[in-house]
Structure 1
């Protein structure tokens, strides 16, 4: 293949092995691993993926330019190398994760897992997870293959980059760098726009990551001459500081990738330039860093399924204490096995470049065909629900049907904040976050048809109560930009609501945080001042609801036997007891009635917590939100307690029952 050598000769950097790049891989992979193990001191560990993208852009561009210059570039050989490099280890992890997931994941989770596996096999998992939700959403930590999004981005990059180098790189020495620069700027602009208006797309989609690959590619195209050691030390130090700052200063609330990704990406580029520095470079070139860098791909592949499957098996909602170390050890046991047993064997094994090796590679890659068929079947057959007891599946199935009913129910006109109250003796307004929905359901389902009581709901997260304080601008510490916007919208809706001037009692039901406690008094004062002057509303504070491991998942695992209530109680988050006690004391100081929800959900000693009702229907939809059956039952219990009934409705239990008898 004859090429214009003048067009590429100036672009070709040194092709010798650079151990410092393996050291940089170590920084990248350990950042991601420690972040996913939930070490609080590295809140920006997710930027390790961006460092990987820079490394990939640099190495792939350097390789492609070398092949084009030598006149032996071949799309076939390039993609065979990529398949040999990435395919076998990925398939092994997908296969192993599928086997474990089939034993422990609930039908709903297993169905979504099967869809993600199929998408991973076709280099489209980033599209799959973008369509589902965001990287930092509440359920992300329960998706065993979430980490494959970055592999799909990289594989999609490989689909376009070789053609770009091959077609553009032959024209003149400056065309390719200019094209790479323009594509990178366009990609960065797209990332800025989409991170603001469609964050999930900006995070997951390949076009908005091209500028990260482009930084590495531009470095390869510069073909820098050897620098004096003083400059190499400076560049290495500056690059490490930029990456380190990103790891320590960024967190889940940082708009990303946005312009913020430039910091770790430029840092990675500087480390590549100066990584062979005599002194600081040893941090990257030492045997331990190089070894971890060599196994980094295998370590990246195995680390996340280990964390997620641990949570599914144990129902843990976080990785804490010694568990982190145990999981880290397990990762470093699995990764070398993967590297030496599979990755290195197919990539560097004896005869890997011979024709027979390709046949063996394709034989190994036949495994995805089986995995694809199994995944399609599991996805189509409701996550293989036959793995669980029929009675349990029936109960969970009813719960899933009721979930749609619940969404429709809470969106009906009875919960709409801009409607006036019915002409009733007692007008009750429930305020709070999603847990106020539970209390609205609990009251509405038990007083429905009673013309003496009218119930409405108004959304207001407890973290937004700072807006009702005397100096609200001084109390926004810790809130993200999106939380500030949401609080502003909720605050405006509260001020605009006509219900506050009509209401008789206001029930505050939310997932309280102790940082919100100081704002309860000014908020209560606001509610009283906004009410009827002759009879200000009674403000009732409700404690946080009982929280557990995922209740439907627990029921699927252990069944509907007589021990379900005790086993549910064993997973209860007991540290909320102290928070509720502090909240109760705060309410007493402010002379506000307080209702302890937990006492109506669990026995007095909390040794039993109801998971199902008398018909065997599940009372919770997740860790603590109530199903419609749960809301009906728990509301019934509250209203059966005359003192609580008076606080919530203004009527005693006997008065409420008199309505029931009359009806």
Structure 2
């Protein structure tokens, strides 16, 4: 009798398929794809990654607890084997394909892609990007494997977490105490993020770090203890079911609002925001996994389930496709048909991956590959894989590094005339010939070389772009440009190095706003550092959501202060895609000349009118 009762109990508590979770996966991956297509369309779409983290923590813990309760053990070997079969084959095919495609279409990027590929293969992409300080410069660069940082965190979690869980179950034993321990660890992870992150600074360390992102997955772990899907009643009372549906609906509504309104430059998300947002996701999961709820049925509709089942494939392929396609266009000026191609190719490649790589390998394991001519599908799969893998091995071995060295060596992250003037003797233009390669200079009275001007120029990477050209026109200029610089970083710089420019006879040009938003107070503080000088504010053209705000602040400041003049680069560059590199921000030579001309036009006009 007891045996029969135990068998019946286990049967009723077996893990069931939860289509509502696939529906939530569908929403998460669609948010991520829209965000990567164009950040302005869904500024908080990146939060879909955290949704995946919470789901992963919840589902994996649920499966492990189910196994532990029904067998008394957790078979780690079997668990890890399932993860390998589920995740690694598709990822390796992606890495191999992207690496080979880079050699064919973007050979100058072959060295950087090789490094990223190694990091991806060993699931350490997140720490690789932290170690190489991927922040501003890389966010505009061609990095088609960058999205694999999140998969690296998940895989690290899958390796370590089951061991920790087993240890706690065997030693602490009581679920309540185990849950409390995981909650404390999640708070420690949250605290690490808060302590390490700094206001208005680049957040790559806390965003990519496994330790700082662990908080999100552990919230899912905790929910698995509190709300295990295999213990939920199929027929709860009417009031309880309605409550469950309401909290899920409200949670999803607020989550979608966050997808729309949260900005990746917001400091608050690094100071508890991710924790709160992930906590909100728990309410959606509570409703999505309930076997009898209307919300779960709605989330588990056929379309969402179809997308959710392919969410891993869609996530893998969308970013490389977008990276390759958009690299041939100026960011912010991409035609609509390109976005359509992005979506179509993403669906096609994801479906190929899902049907011919993920599913066969998950079901058949290594038997999905064969050189037996009578197993046509396996044979074709094997031949194609070898065809792309063999040349990729040569790429990873460094056989094609020579194509990428020049670009690596020529990356410039700063331009400072103090450093340059120590080691460089600049040639004097003679008879319209300039030894630096620009033959537009004249020696007569109409010369476009302004030897009487001695302006200070402070800026970011755009200033780095124009540094040499501007210096040739204004040899006595002091130029301080640095990649990734934000406006607030120029405030202490003004006190430390450039106090002497707060003088009526001085000109100060500020080109800041490319890398992020700033407040009116911050702009006013910077302007006050040069309250006696003539200040020139260069507004920005940057395909980011803060563009209009920073430009409006500069326009307002120019109207407010008599000593402030607006240099309208946004207007001057309108319709001139040839001015810009593919990122839509950094300048080609024609853009360098245009911006230099615009600055000189304003300074020369104002200074000669005195």
User: Normalising to structure 2: TM-score of the pair?
Assistant: 0.71
Structure 2 contact 318–346 (Cα < 8 Å) conserved: yes
> Could you tell me which residue of structure 1 aligns to residue 99 of structure 2?
98
- The answer on 1:124 being equivalent to 2:146 is no
> Could you tell me which residue of structure 2 aligns to residue 251 of structure 1?
263
> Could you tell me which residue of structure 2 aligns to residue 216 of structure 1?
220
Aligned positions of 1:647-662 closer than 5 A: none
Q: Distance in 1 between matches of 2:169 and 2:410?
A: 57
Q: CA deviation at 1:254?
A: 1.8
Q: Distance in 2 between matches of 1:135 and 1:38?
A: 18
Q: Distance in 2 between matches of 1:379 and 1:131?
A: 25
> Could you tell me which residue of structure 1 aligns to residue 60 of structure 2?
60
Identify the match of residue 250 of structure 2 among 209, 230, 238. 238
Structure 1 contact 410–437 (Cα < 8 Å) conserved: no
Q: CA deviation at 1:374?
A: 3.1
Q: Distance in 1 between matches of 2:224 and 2:537?
A: 61
Q: Distance in 2 between matches of 1:173 and 1:367?
A: 53
SS in 1 for 2:511: coil
Change (3 A) 1:430 1:237: same
Structure 2 contact 415–479 (Cα < 8 Å) conserved: no
Q: Distance in 2 between matches of 1:160 and 1:99?
A: 32
Identify the match of residue 203 of structure 1 among 207, 211, 221. 207
Structure 2 contact 57–221 (Cα < 8 Å) conserved: yes
Structure 2 contact 457–480 (Cα < 8 Å) conserved: yes
The answer to which of 306-315 and 220-229 deviates more is 220-229
> Could you tell me which residue of structure 1 aligns to residue 478 of structure 2?
456
> Could you tell me which residue of structure 1 aligns to residue 427 of structure 2?
none
Aligned positions of 1:177-576 closer than 5 A: 177-196=179-198, 199-222=203-226, 223=228, 225-226=232-233, 227=236, 228-255=240-267, 256-275=269-288, 276=290, 278-314=293-329, 316=331, 319=334, 321-348=336-363, 352=364, 356=367, 370=390, 373-378=393-398, 381-383=401-403, 400=409, 403=412, 407=415, 409=417, 411=419, 426=452, 428-434=454-460, 435-436=462-463, 441-442=468-469, 444-445=471-472, 454-457=476-479, 485-486=488-489, 488-489=491-492, 497-501=499-503, 504-506=505-507, 508=509, 510=511, 530=532, 539=534
> Could you tell me which residue of structure 1 aligns to residue 436 of structure 2?
none
Q: CA deviation at 1:195?
A: 2.7
Q: CA deviation at 1:248?
A: 1.8
Structure 2 contact 189–212 (Cα < 8 Å) conserved: yes
Note the residue ranges of structure 2 that are not aligned, 5 or more in a row: 1-5, 372-377, 424-449
SS in 2 for 1:431: strand
The answer to which of 199-208 and 436-445 deviates more is 436-445
Structure 1 contact 378–384 (Cα < 8 Å) conserved: no
In the TM superposition, what whole-angstrom CA distance separates every residue of 1:246-274 from its partner, at most 9, and x where no partner exists? 21221121234441112332232212211
> Could you tell me which residue of structure 1 aligns to residue 178 of structure 2?
176
The answer to which of 74-83 and 237-246 deviates more is 237-246
> Could you tell me which residue of structure 1 aligns to residue 77 of structure 2?
76
Structure 1 contact 202–208 (Cα < 8 Å) conserved: yes
Structure 1 contact 112–379 (Cα < 8 Å) conserved: no
Structure 2 contact 486–512 (Cα < 8 Å) conserved: no
Q: CA deviation at 1:192?
A: 1.8
Aligned length: 532
Change (3 A) 1:153 1:636: closer
Note the residue ranges of structure 1 that are not aligned, 5 or more in a row: 1-5, 386-392, 416-423, 449-453, 462-481, 532-538, 550-575, 612-618, 652-663
Structure 1 contact 238–267 (Cα < 8 Å) conserved: no
Q: CA deviation at 1:530?
A: 2.1
In the TM superposition, what whole-angstrom CA distance separates every residue of 1:490-521 from its partner, at most 9, and x where no partner exists? 56569x712333x64526363789x99x99xx
Change (3 A) 1:245 1:596: closer
Q: Distance in 2 between matches of 1:208 and 1:440?
A: 38
Change (3 A) 1:106 1:312: farther
Q: CA deviation at 1:378?
A: 3.8
Q: Distance in 2 between matches of 1:182 and 1:264?
A: 18
CA RMSD of aligned residues (A): 5.2
Q: Distance in 1 between matches of 2:308 and 2:584?
A: 39
Q: Distance in 2 between matches of 1:14 and 1:177?
A: 22
SS in 1 for 2:454: strand
Q: Distance in 1 between matches of 2:567 and 2:303?
A: 57
Q: CA deviation at 1:321?
A: 3.1
SS in 1 for 2:295: coil
Q: CA deviation at 1:485?
A: 3.8
